[in-house]
Chains A and B, each alone.
Chain A
Amino acid sequence: MAESLLTNEAAVLPTAPRRESRIRAFWRPFVASRMGPIGLGILICVALCALLAGVIAPDGPFKLGAPRLIGPGEQGHLLGTDHLGRDMLAQLVYGARVSLTIGLVAASISLFVGVVIGSVAGYFGGWVDLVLSRLTDMFLIIPAFFLIIVVVATLGSGIGYVMVVIGLTAWPTSARLMRAQTLSLRERTFIQALRALGESGPRILFRHIVPNGIQPLIANASLDIASAILIEAGLSFIGLGDPNKATWGRMIFDGRTTILTAWWASVLPGIAIIVTVLGFYLVGDGISYVLSPRSRKVSK
Chain B
Amino acid sequence: MSENPLLDVRDLQCLFPLRKGLGDLARGKSHAVHAVDTVSFQMQRSEILALVGESGCGKSTTGRLLVKLEEATGGNIRFDGEEVGSLRGKELKSFRRRAQIIFQNPFEAFDPRLTLGASLRQALRIHGIGKNQAERDDRIASVMERSGLTPVQDFLARYPHELSGGQSQRIATVRAMLLEPDFLVADEPVSMLDVSVRADILNQLLDLRDRDGMAIVFITHDLSVARYIADRIAVMYLGMFVEIGPADAVIERPQHPYAQALLSHTLPVGDEEPVAAPVDIGGEVPTPVDVQPGCRFAGRCPFVFDRCRMETPQLKATSDDKLVACHLFDQPPA
Q: Which residues of A contact B (CB under 8 A)?
A: 9-11, 13-14, 17, 19, 22, 188-190, 192-199, 208, 211-212
**Does residue B172 face the partner (Cβ distance < 8 Å to A)?**
yes
Cα of A199 to Cα of B123 in the assembled complex, Å: 8
**Does residue B170 face the partner (Cβ distance < 8 Å to A)?**
yes
Partner of A197, one of B104, B108, B123: B123
* B101 CB contacts on chain A under 8 angstroms: 193, 196
Cα of A195 to Cα of B149 in the assembled complex, Å: 25
* B104 CB contacts on chain A under 8 angstroms: 189
Contact between B100 and A196 (Cβ–Cβ < 8 Å)?
yes
Interface string of B158-196 (1 = CB under 8 A from A): 110011100100101001000100000000000000000
* B79 CB contacts on chain A under 8 angstroms: none
Known A19-B162, A190-B111; judge A198-B155 contact (CB<8 A).
no
Contact between B69 and A192 (Cβ–Cβ < 8 Å)?
yes
Contact between B113 and A13 (Cβ–Cβ < 8 Å)?
no
Contact between B126 and A14 (Cβ–Cβ < 8 Å)?
no
Contact between A190 and B108 (Cβ–Cβ < 8 Å)?
yes
Minimum CB–CB distance from B199 to chain A (whole Å) comes to 9
Task: Give the size range of B's interface with the partner.
Answer: 35 or more
Known A10-B200, A198-B96; judge A189-B155 contact (CB<8 A).
no
Partner of A195, one of B69, B110, B123: B69
Q: Which of A9, A22, A189 has the most CB of B within 10 A?
A: A189
Cα of A68 to Cα of B46 in the assembled complex, Å: 92
- The 29 sampled A-B contact pairs (Cβ below 8 Å) are A10-B200, A11-B150, A11-B155, A11-B167, A13-B155, A13-B167, A14-B162, A17-B162, A19-B158, A189-B104, A189-B105, A189-B109, A190-B109, A190-B111, A190-B112, A192-B69, A193-B103, A193-B109, A193-B110, A196-B67, A196-B69, A196-B100, A197-B96, A197-B100, A197-B175, A198-B93, A199-B122, A208-B111, A212-B112
Contact between A11 and B148 (Cβ–Cβ < 8 Å)?
yes
* B126 CB contacts on chain A under 8 angstroms: 197-199
Interface string of B88-109 (1 = CB under 8 A from A): 0000110011001101110011
A11-B200, A197-B122 given; 11 more Cβ-contact pairs under 8 Å = A9-B150, A10-B148, A14-B162, A189-B103, A189-B108, A194-B111, A197-B123, A198-B96, A198-B127, A208-B111, A211-B113
Known A190-B111, A198-B96, A211-B113; judge A14-B200 contact (CB<8 A).
no
Partner of B96, one of A13, A14, A189, A196: A196
Contact between B179 and A197 (Cβ–Cβ < 8 Å)?
yes
Cα of A188 to Cα of B126 in the assembled complex, Å: 20
* A17 CB contacts on chain B under 8 angstroms: 162
Known A11-B150, A196-B100, A198-B127; judge A212-B111 contact (CB<8 A).
yes
Docked complex: B51-76 residues within 8 A CB-CB of A: 67, 69
Partner of A11, one of B111, B149, B159, B179: B149
Cα of A212 to Cα of B200 in the assembled complex, Å: 31
**Does residue B306 face the partner (Cβ distance < 8 Å to A)?**
no
Q: Which of B69, B111, B112, B200 has the most CB of A within 10 A?
A: B111
**Does residue B3 face the partner (Cβ distance < 8 Å to A)?**
no
Closest partner residue, chain A, to B204 (CB atom): A10
Known A11-B149, A11-B170, A192-B69; judge A212-B93 contact (CB<8 A).
no
Minimum CB–CB distance from B167 to chain A (whole Å) comes to 6
Cα of A145 to Cα of B163 in the assembled complex, Å: 51
* A193 CB contacts on chain B under 8 angstroms: 101, 103, 109-110, 172, 175
Minimum CB–CB distance from A139 to chain B (whole Å) comes to 27
* B100 CB contacts on chain A under 8 angstroms: 196-197
Interface string of B267-309 (1 = CB under 8 A from A): 0000000000000000000000000000000000000000000
* A194 CB contacts on chain B under 8 angstroms: 111
Minimum CB–CB distance from A189 to chain B (whole Å) comes to 4
Q: Which of A13, A19, A197 has the most CB of B within 10 A?
A: A197
Minimum CB–CB distance from A210 to chain B (whole Å) comes to 11
Contact between B150 and A192 (Cβ–Cβ < 8 Å)?
no
**Does residue B154 face the partner (Cβ distance < 8 Å to A)?**
yes
Minimum CB–CB distance from B172 to chain A (whole Å) comes to 7
Cα of A10 to Cα of B207 in the assembled complex, Å: 15
Contact between A212 and B155 (Cβ–Cβ < 8 Å)?
no
Closest partner residue, chain B, to A22 (CB atom): B113
* A19 CB contacts on chain B under 8 angstroms: 158-159, 162
Cα of A274 to Cα of B108 in the assembled complex, Å: 43
Minimum CB–CB distance from A290 to chain B (whole Å) comes to 15
Cα of A13 to Cα of B155 in the assembled complex, Å: 8
Cα of A10 to Cα of B199 in the assembled complex, Å: 10
Cα of A196 to Cα of B126 in the assembled complex, Å: 11
Cα of A14 to Cα of B158 in the assembled complex, Å: 11
Cα of A1 to Cα of B167 in the assembled complex, Å: 21
